[in-house]
């Protein structure tokens, strides 16, 4: 049985960021990732300034640029009335396919000294008197790792939530999501540097360019028994701005495209430590996608957790102190933006508040600025974001 100081379950932005933070300080770390990379996942693929700053801190910003990210500098909110409310974002942002971004980060975790076990599905985590045993299912059979610390960075939901008896695992949220990479030939003119949010009752959809020939189209819907295709048809029916985006019949066109979905997204509070296992990224808390800050938050929570583990092991803090420290710091850093994003999501999915909100934002653009600021870490002079084309 291979022994590690920390085993991280999940090689997405949270898992890779935790691994980079720990491995580059010399900790013996393994990342377990169940899918071969590169792979796509559901996501609007909007990268806020926090992601860009983290990439710079990890020393991979030049490599990121070589992958030709799309610069995003304006935001448009389109309610059912179809008239976009436009605003400059006020911070550097980009868009890139998750297959490229996640691969870049996991590669960095490996070159920082982490062992990457992939593909391997962490099937169970058992607590022992002196640490943990993690059972992996791999294509060649099973394998067990042991570790002093286990980090769950496996995303918004997984079989391990039930195994760890997490309270929300049995709740049906009814929120589902879907992503497509839509060829530009299917859509009318679309500003390259813009992220646009179209909304209607029980659904909103983000659209932004990703690469030269495609846009990412990604939506979150309250399903109420509807299929993803039916939710999309409703948005087309109700939001004339969204309808005007497409050439021809988008539902029929998208039928033939690969799609990446998620079901039952739970946005409520979660425990940050479960039976001694530290949660990072979406496993710790899911921010409304409207904020476009899930990846930034996942990376920031991974870095925070790495800092806490390193600092506590240096000072000889016991496990309970570590757990309390992480929980307090996580809440201090993220609780307010989770609440703001949840409120904005509710408003956007209600046509009355979305239409009124759009009108108010046209009259008082500072409202839109405040909304954008409320869901993310401010940029500050002592943490400048990297210069960006």
**Is residue 41 within the footprint of ligand FAD (CB under 6 A)?**
yes
Nearer of residues 296 and 357 to ligand FAD, judged by Cβ? 296
Helix (H, G, I), strand (E, B) or coil at 278: strand
**Is residue 164 within the footprint of ligand FAD (CB under 6 A)?**
no
**Is residue 32 within the footprint of ligand FAD (CB under 6 A)?**
yes
**Is residue 289 within the footprint of ligand FAD (CB under 6 A)?**
yes
**Is residue 211 within the footprint of ligand FAD (CB under 6 A)?**
no
Neighbour count for residue 149 (Cβ, 10 Å): 24
Here the tokens at position 378 are 């401010």
**Is residue 154 within the footprint of ligand FAD (CB under 6 A)?**
yes
**Is residue 294 within the footprint of ligand FAD (CB under 6 A)?**
yes
Contacts of 317 (CB under 8 A, 6+ apart): 311, 325
Nearer of residues 161 and 323 to ligand FAD, judged by Cβ? 161
**Is residue 368 within the footprint of ligand FAD (CB under 6 A)?**
no
**CA-based R_g, the chain, Å:** 21
* Rounded Cα gap, residues 1 and 322, in angstroms: 26
Q: Are 104 and 64 in contact (CB under 8 A)?
A: yes
DSSP conformation letters of 279-295: E-GGGT----GGGS-HH
From the CB of 296, what's the least distance to ligand FAD, in Å?
Answer: 6
Stretch that binds ligand FAD, among 29-37, 107-115, 163-171, 348-356 (CB under 6 A): 29-37
**Is residue 202 within the footprint of ligand FAD (CB under 6 A)?**
no
Beta bridge pairs of residue 197: 77, 206
* Rounded Cα gap, residues 108 and 129, in angstroms: 33
From the CB of 269, what's the least distance to ligand FAD, in Å?
Answer: 16
- Provide the binding-site residues for ligand FAD, judged by CB under 6 A: 9-15, 32-35, 41-46, 121-122, 153-155, 158, 160, 177, 206, 218, 220, 262, 265, 281-282, 289, 292-296, 298
């Amino acid at each position: 049985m291979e022994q590690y100081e920390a085993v991280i379950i999940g090689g997405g932005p949270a898992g890779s960021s935790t691994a980079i933070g720990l491995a580059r300080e010399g900790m013996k770390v393994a990342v377990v990732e169940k899918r071969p990379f590169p792979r796509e996942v559901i996501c609007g693929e909007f990268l806020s300034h926090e992601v860009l700053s983290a990439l710079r801190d990890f020393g991979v910003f030049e490599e990121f640029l070589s992958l030709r990210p799309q610069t995003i500098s304006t935001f448009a909110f389109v309610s059912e009335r179809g008239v976009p409310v436009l605003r400059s974002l006020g911070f550097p942002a980009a868009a890139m396919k998750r297959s490229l971004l996640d691969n870049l980060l996991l590669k960095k975790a490996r070159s920082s000294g982490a062992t990457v076990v992939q593909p391997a599905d962490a099937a169970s985590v058992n607590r022992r008197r002196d640490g943990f045993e993690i059972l992996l299912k791999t294509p060649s059979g099973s394998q067990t790792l042991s570790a002093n610390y286990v980090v769950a960075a496996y995303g918004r939901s997984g079989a391990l939530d039930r195994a760890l008896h997490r309270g929300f695992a049995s709740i049906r949220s009814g929120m589902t999501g879907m992503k497509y990479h839509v060829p530009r030939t299917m859509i009318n003119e679309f500003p390259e540097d813009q992220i646009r949010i179209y909304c209607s009752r029980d659904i909103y959809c983000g659209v932004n360019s990703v690469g030269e020939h495609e846009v990412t189209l990604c939506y979150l819907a309250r399903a109420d028994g509807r299929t993803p295709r039916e939710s999309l048809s409703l948005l087309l029916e109700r939001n004339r701005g969204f309808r005007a985006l497409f050439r021809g019949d988008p539902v029929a066109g998208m039928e033939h495209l690969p799609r990446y979905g998620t079901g039952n997204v739970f946005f409520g509070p979660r425990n940050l430590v479960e039976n001694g296992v530290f949660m990072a990224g979406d496993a710790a808390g899911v921010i409304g996608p409207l904020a476009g800050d899930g990846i930034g938050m996942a990376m920031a929570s991974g870095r925070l957790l790495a800092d806490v583990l390193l600092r506590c092991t240096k000072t000889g803090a016991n496990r309970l102190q570590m757990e309390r420290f992480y929980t307090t710091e996580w809440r201090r850093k993220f609780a307010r933006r989770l609440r703001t994003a949840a409120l904005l999501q509710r408003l956007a999915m209600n046509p009355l508040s979305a239409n009124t909100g759009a009108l108010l934002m046209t009259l008082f653009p500072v409202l839109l600025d405040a909304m954008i600021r409320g869901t993310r870490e401010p940029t500050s002079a002592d943490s400048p974001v990297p210069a960006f084309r």
